[in-house]
Structure 1
Amino acid sequence: MLEETPPLLLPEEAIAFFRAKGIAFGFDWRDVWQEEHAKAFTVAKAMSRDLLEDIRQAVDDALVNGTTLATFREQLTPLLMARGWWGRSLETDPLTGEQRVVQLGSPARLRTIFDTNLRSAYAAGRWERIQRQKRVFPFLIYESVKDGRERPEHGAWHKTILPVDDPWWDTHYPPCGWNCRCTARPANQRMLDRRGEKVTDQPVRFPQKDYVNRRTGEITRTERGIDPGFSFNVGKAYLDPLSPKPMPGQPGEGDATAAADLSADAEKVLKRLLRPFELEAGEIQRGKIWRDATGWPFAIGAGLFRSPRGDLQLPNRSQLRRYELGLAALARPDTIRLVWVRDKTGRMMLMRRYLAGTVAFDIGRAGWRTTPLRSAGGGKIVWQR
């Protein structure tokens, strides 16, 4: 019997997304723009790593422990005050050189930091689950809170029902603005029939306008009801950091490429490594859900080669062929096994092992690695060509 209620989001999914972010400094909230927020943690005017790490740790604790806003404020406020990051202060804008009186820490700012980061992390976690379940739950239902405090546009989008892969979700997957409380709920045809609901022929549309980011010069065309900086699908953008990371002993540190950028040389190497997965334009950096021969899903993209800090770790010239063969084995294996391996601490880890050619590719929650085929025996065969 087909399941009637989609499984609940596991907190670990949202936590994994948040912890995979790098660090970015921005004096103005527009300095880190759109999808860049999915790659890096930032707080406007928090211009030192120690300060950002304090705030980041508090958000992490809130995700892990289900901390309330009141507790979040209570724990973080004295830390920010001790660092002198509280109240109004005369600061120099590094972009313009202008000195301005700006707001640093405050109860209102802590609420925004808490709300935006938690909602985005859970939305990204849901999207990963939505992608894995879309063969069973192929539709999404836009749901607004409808308590009289919602934006009129969000209220008009309430009960919009479209396929998961409809491009409307590229710009309308919640959150769609500051303090947006909307969600997107998975559904299947049986659920819609039972409730007398139908797929939407044409979503309600509102006028669009161009928004110019005066900090970066970027022009974004945004529909009314979607705040500037929110006109993207946080779940799709989050696929990059969702990718398993290189395990110790895998590719060495590259050029510390920022999480939001790819140099021409880095993109050339990544295209070569990821060729077996046939990524479309933009998917190398953004990532996409790819399924192996058994249907097991992975996020494939540049995120496979990012360190926990968000820097690229690309193989050097002597390593390149080894990893190229390993990824080819992942894409087109001769055999897939489940194997238990021991990490450097002695902890046992269950991994999926893909064997083809002369290299085996191991991948699991702890990350991924390549292994010479001669030392990659054992385990339980779960698929064979």
Structure 2
Amino acid sequence: MARYGSLPFKEAIDYFNQKAPLPTTGWRDVYGAQHDHAFMVAGANKVAIVEGFSSALQAAIANGETLADFRKRFDEIVTKHGWDYKGSRGWRSRLIYETNIRQAYNAGREAQMADPQFQERFPYMEYRHSGAENYRPQHKAWDRMVLLANDPWWKVHSPSNGYGCKCKKFPRSRRWMQRNGRTEPDVAPPDEYRDFIDERTGEVKQIPVGIDPGFEHRPGQSWLRSLTHRQQTGQTPQVEPIPIGPVAKPDLPAPTPVNATAVLEDGLPDEQYVQAFLDEFGGEQVFKDVTGEPIAINDYLFRDADGSFKVSKDKIRHRYMRLLARGLIQPDEVWALLEPDFKTLGKYRVKRRYIKRWVLDENGQEVHGYSAFEYGQGTWTGSTVFTPHRKRGKERIPEKIKYLEDQREGVLLYRRGEG
């Protein structure tokens, strides 16, 4: 069992194991409390790489593996997947190992300290600086400060408070306060703030001086709410989608012209619609998308659990099976996002969404549409929608443009024309 410090922490293991491995293009793709449910390694944009590091860290947390052990796993993952990471091997492996293990430990401790009986015994918390030689002045100034356990200051300042921060907070009892000559807790100091521009959204965030961007939250807080709900009610709460990724989105590439002959007729056998989809892949059994992720291509994509075809359930999709396949082969964008895993309540899963815009000449009228193909954990959903433009002044506005924009969420892994 995990030992970070001196005590084993089942809660630390549970906290880390419920995270969903999420591919990203940079550290800003997952921010702050989003780390409570998403595991990422900055710049690891392949699911297999992220899953490899997740497994390596699970072993380190559960079995007490050292940094030297983790570095062996690090080298194996890099060699196997050819990952071109930034920074030196020593620095990058230490950063991944220490940040994740420390935050899992901190989240586990937060879960223990949230117990009402624990808080009754230990109504105070003491901030302790790590004693590092190269320290942040603010962290040093907070050393030995004792506040009420429910003081709002802890919501933002609970350690860790930055990369490499080894500060901790310790529970203190009333008896401890008496022994140390304290009659009242301290008063939390006022914060100074600095601006941080979130490049995902364009938002200017106010970050307390002394805290690294992304660390201004209590570790495991959203996970802890779910845990507390289970302890109080005996039930696992439904989870909501986690809004990860940019609000300010880049413009979509121009729509791809498509010949009307690509649209299939109504009334064909289901097998023929399925074959039209499969033919676009030239017989490939395992297709690698534009990001290098594998997808199994076979007619089981279109079968229900009982083996029957599910091609025409929406009465529209079957006509656009070729375009659905082409949108997967040459998408305009690929997004990775987290959604509730309804098979395992309280957890999340990762899926990829492929988006493609089309323009079709239909009887001399310009008709616009798009494809959206979602894939994750062996299951998929897909749709292609065409709708005429309506005019608004001199503009031509797609009827479904808002719905399409709502589909563009998560981490943008690929954009046509950008790699």
TM range (shorter): 0.5 to 0.7
What residue is the counterpart of 1:135 in the other structure?
120
CA distance in 2, matches of 1:35, 1:74: 30
Compare CA radii of gyration and give the structure with the larger one: 2
What residue is the counterpart of 1:295 in the other structure?
none
Unaligned runs of 5+ in 2: 1-5, 245-339, 351-419
Among 112, 115, 121, the alignment partner of 2:98 is 115
What residue is the counterpart of 2:348 in the other structure?
310
Secondary structure of residue in 1 paired with 2:44: coil
Q: CA deviation at 1:241?
A: 5.8
Unaligned runs of 5+ in 1: 1-7, 88-102, 262-301, 313-385
Secondary structure of residue in 2 paired with 1:135: helix
Secondary structure of residue in 2 paired with 1:226: coil
Secondary structure of residue in 1 paired with 2:120: coil
Evaluate the alpha carbon distance shift between residue 189 and residue 26 of structure 1 in structure 2; reply closer, same or farther with a 3 A threshold: same
Among 85, 93, 104, the alignment partner of 2:83 is 85
Q: TM-score, normalised by structure 1?
A: 0.57
Q: TM-score, normalised by structure 2?
A: 0.53
Evaluate the alpha carbon distance shift between residue 186 and residue 56 of structure 1 in structure 2; reply closer, same or farther with a 3 A threshold: same
Evaluate the alpha carbon distance shift between residue 116 and residue 83 of structure 1 in structure 2; reply closer, same or farther with a 3 A threshold: same
Among 208, 211, 228, the alignment partner of 2:213 is 228
Q: Do the aligned residues in 2 keep the contact of 1:86 with 1:105 (CA within 8 Å)?
A: no
Q: Do the aligned residues in 2 keep the contact of 1:207 with 1:223 (CA within 8 Å)?
A: yes
Aligned residues with identical type, % of pairs: 32
What residue is the counterpart of 1:372 in the other structure?
none
Q: Do the aligned residues in 1 keep the contact of 2:145 with 2:186 (CA within 8 Å)?
A: no
Among 18, 21, 37, the alignment partner of 1:20 is 18
Evaluate the alpha carbon distance shift between residue 122 and residue 181 of structure 1 in structure 2; reply closer, same or farther with a 3 A threshold: same
Equivalent AA in structure 2 for residue 41 of structure 1: F
What residue is the counterpart of 1:46 in the other structure?
44
For 1:207-246, what aligned pairs fall within 5 Å after superposition?
207-240=192-225, 242=227
Evaluate the alpha carbon distance shift between residue 140 and residue 105 of structure 1 in structure 2; reply closer, same or farther with a 3 A threshold: same
* Cα shift readout 1:336-362 (whole Å, capped 9, x = no counterpart): xxxxxxxxxxxxxxxxxxxxxxxxxxx
For 1:1-385, what aligned pairs fall within 5 Å after superposition?
9-87=7-85, 103=86, 106-132=89-115, 133-197=118-182, 199-240=184-225, 242=227, 258-260=241-243, 307=345, 310-311=348-349
CA distance in 2, matches of 1:239, 1:35: 11
Q: Do the aligned residues in 2 keep the contact of 1:26 with 1:42 (CA within 8 Å)?
A: yes
* Cα shift readout 1:180-239 (whole Å, capped 9, x = no counterpart): 100010011111111224544323344212211112323321111001111111132331
CA distance in 2, matches of 1:308, 1:105: 37
CA distance in 2, matches of 1:135, 1:238: 22
Equivalent AA in structure 2 for residue 156 of structure 1: A
CA distance in 1, matches of 2:96, 2:229: 27
CA distance in 2, matches of 1:241, 1:110: 31
CA distance in 1, matches of 2:63, 2:148: 34
Q: Do the aligned residues in 2 keep the contact of 1:20 with 1:242 (CA within 8 Å)?
A: no
Q: Which is worse superposed, 8-17 or 113-122? A: 8-17
CA distance in 1, matches of 2:212, 2:224: 22
The CA RMSD over aligned residues, in Å, is 3.0
CA distance in 2, matches of 1:183, 1:211: 25
Equivalent AA in structure 2 for residue 26 of structure 1: T
CA distance in 2, matches of 1:304, 1:105: 40
Q: CA deviation at 1:75?
A: 2.3
Equivalent AA in structure 2 for residue 33 of structure 1: Y
Q: CA deviation at 1:114?
A: 0.5
Secondary structure of residue in 2 paired with 1:228: coil
CA distance in 1, matches of 2:173, 2:49: 45
Evaluate the alpha carbon distance shift between residue 54 and residue 147 of structure 1 in structure 2; reply closer, same or farther with a 3 A threshold: closer
CA distance in 2, matches of 1:305, 1:210: 41
CA distance in 1, matches of 2:106, 2:66: 18
Q: Which is worse superposed, 132-141 or 143-152? A: 143-152
CA distance in 2, matches of 1:240, 1:311: 19
Equivalent AA in structure 1 for residue 160 of structure 2: P
